[in-house]
Amino acid sequence: MDMTNRNLAIFFVVFVAAIFGLGALLLRAPDDRGVSDRDGAETADVKVTNPQINSTIISPLLVSGEARGTWFFEASFPVRVEDANGDQLGIGIAEALSNWMTTSTVPFRGVISFTSPPTTTAGFLIFEKDNPSGLPENADEFAAPVTIAPAVDNFN
């Protein structure tokens, strides 16, 4: 095999491996998002008190719970509502209710406005560790399963 064919074969193998790897990342199941094995209500870093896990949510949504101080930056962190496909429906900010500059848990509260789908759908409430550095090793999130209520038409 001459050098050109050998290089082409190596390129092809690497290309196919990259495509399969990317496909595996994109097609991962929505349940593989860090939901607790017990009841989905908490991890070591986040405990959700409202809404209840697997409950039906409507917009605007009050979220509350506790998170480690390391999840906050400038006393807040983002919270998103996503459908089961990972499409973002809305985003809000959870704000610390006490001193957040600690490694202990800190109570938080926030309100998220989101677009409701036309029919009831499975989704996730995503609590995202604020990561001002942008470094992947500092990123973390917790996904709590919810059911998203359909939009209500009040104009009939």
Sketch the domain layout of the chain as residue ranges.
46-148
Largest pairwise CA distance in the chain:
74
Regions in the chain scoring below 70 on pLDDT? 1-3, 5-42, 153-156
Q: How confident is the model at residue 10, as a pLDDT?
A: 64
Q: How confident is the model at residue 153, as a pLDDT?
A: 58
Which strands make up the sheet holding 105-112, listed edge to edge?
A: 46-50, 61-68, 105-112, 88-96, 76-83, 121-128, 141-148, 56-57
Q: How confident is the model at residue 44, as a pLDDT?
A: 84
Residues with Cβ within 8 Å of 149's Cβ and at least 6 positions away in sequence, in order, are 56, 57, 58, 116, 120
**What whole-number distance in Å separates Cα of residue 13 and Cα of residue 18?**
9
Q: How confident is the model at residue 24, as a pLDDT?
A: 42
Alpha-carbon dihedral of residues 13, 15, 17, 21, nearest 10 degrees? Answer: 180
Q: What share of the chain is helix, strand, coil (3-state, %, to 5)?
A: 20, 40, 45
Which DSSP state fits 40?
S
Q: How confident is the model at residue 41, as a pLDDT?
A: 58
Model's pTM, two decimal places? 0.70
Domain 46-148 belongs in CATH node 1.10.3470: no
